[in-house]
Structure 1
Amino acid sequence: MMEMEEAQWETSDVSFYCPECKMDVDGTVDLPIVYDNGDRTHLPVNVQCFSGRHKFDGWVKTNWDSCEIELDEYPEIIIKAAPMRGYASEIDDYDHDYYEWSI
């Protein structure tokens, strides 16, 4: 499991059934960026409903292929979102370190 301070985050729009508004709504959530060689990430998140301005705490389970958010107070509600994919190249990191060291 990735530590929160190590994760990079990106804001994403989500559509979900708001248990407080009792309807399908749009909202936002900050999701951790996952990389193609990373493990499945399981971190706490906050989801905000645009309609009623409700905020929900939950957990995101994400990897390269999927992203699901489960709300703490409403575990029967699962929000599906597109995973935030990041790209890293070990060659680029090596080149960057080499040039910094040689200057």
Structure 2
Amino acid sequence: MTRFTVTGDQTEFDQLLAVHEEYMRAQEGFVDCYLLRSATRPRQFSHVGWWESLDVYRRIGESPEYTSQMKGLLALADITDVDVCTLASGHDRAPDRLS
């Protein structure tokens, strides 16, 4: 999970994030992702990604494509928190590939 605040142009950020999510969806081991916007701070977001395993996530995160895309996104946003989480509850609502 990544929490961030958009500091640059929101439209440009949205476009770069759409390209990044398209790239991620094409990667083997990717399950799904969600972008959540704060209801009280409209420039703050949480991005939650689902992967088949932590190893897959790490492998993709080290790829040159991922690194390049993140540089573009980080030019327009400040990351406030990054964490790797596991599913603790909600198994009945998890994406099909995780249940």
- TM-score scaled by structure 2? 0.28
Higher RCO by CA contacts (8 Å cutoff, separation 6 or greater): 2
Higher helix share: 2
Q: Which has the larger radius of gyration?
A: 1
- TM-score scaled by structure 1? 0.28
